[in-house]
Amino acid sequence: MAFKVAVLPGDGIGPEVVAEAVKVIRAVSSDFEFEEALIGGIAYDQTGHPLPAKTLDLCHEADAALMGAVGGPKWDNIQPTSLRPEVGALLALRSELNLYSNVRPAKTMKALLTASPLKGDHGMIDLCVVRELTGGIYFGEPRERRENGTVAVDTCIYSRAEIERITLNAFDVARARRREVVSVDKANVLETSRLWREVVTELAAQNPDVKVTHMLVDNCAMQLIRDPRQFDVILTENMFGDILSDEASMITGSLGLLPSASLSDAKGDLPFGLYEPVHGSAPDIAGQGRANPVATILSAAMMLQYTFKNLEAAKRIEDACNKVLESGLRTADIFEPGCQLVSTSKLGDAIAAAV
């Protein structure tokens, strides 16, 4: 029986990079069937809503979802804001599908070490950010304007249950790595962070096979630049994780290289996940064949690993990406002298062939 994957190309370069990821999945396995649906700005243009009911239904029916990026300047001023792609599609999809765990690995490829902004081997990192994705300030109520629009209010709320489930998820991720977790908060100032640290400390005592330490978020931001190799798994809340994972990704040299998985609880025997690149829709280069598909292809590898438990196929895709980059093929964002500049589809072809 074939597994069903919802394909959500999205906006800007999304359709280009998603097409290459599907190409690579087909090269590695015939066990999947794919069905496309609209999401984001293009969905708003065609249906009046960035997350049409048909798309949401498809995601509920599928075993996993593979997505490009959504949004862009064209839709930045849509009113109400709940209809903007980033809010009405991305945040809504996370909430509707209970995608509470965002797993973002940041690993430097040897062939691209010179692209890192850090000098020498200092930029050779292998860490993973586990970010709580459906709570915190992005989802807290009330959020409103007061006093004739001159005062804005956002609310940060976390419950013990939300912190427990993301912490246990981070422990599971760490067990497949080096078994070290740094829990990041702002417990010296925020009440939500004090609860966060209290819950993580309790669970750490119950899971002694994982080493757990605590770090304030401002110190973590500094340490990621000073000595990023000290980190294995970084566990943190929604907004802190959003910022720190982008910082970590740039150490590897390009946002075009970093995948992510947003995970929910199991649907039957399979944990449902939404898999997407960390980067945005980049409308300025859309349709030009300049986009880097590696992040989306590696997101597909994460799908095989986390949802479908096919570790062998996932590793084949990762190894193929490394092999092709070591051969000197490059898209524009990671091009350097002595390499061969290729298009989005040509890089995807090469990775599929290497698989």
Residue positions annotated with a catalytic role = 138, 186, 218, 242, 246
Q: Give how far Cα 49 sits from Cα of 52, 80, 274, 288, Å.
A: 6, 11, 20, 27
Q: Give the chain's radius of gyration (CA, Å).
A: 20
Nearest to 334 by CA among 149, 111, 177: 111
- Joined together, the tokens standing for residue 94 give 């996370």
> 3-state SS of 283-304?
HHHCCCCCCCCHHHHHHHHHHH
| First CA to last CA distance, the chain | 23
Name the CA dihedral angle for 139, 128, 265, 25, rounded to a multiple of 10 degrees. 110
Q: What is the largest CA-CA distance in the chain?
A: 60
Q: Half-sphere exposure of residue 328, counting CA atoms within 13 Å on the CB side?
A: 4
In angstroms, the CA 288 to CA 284 distance is: 9
For tokens 């298009």, the residue is: 343
Nearest to 202 by CA among 167, 177, 253, 176: 167
Strand 259-267 versus strand 270-277 pairing type: antiparallel
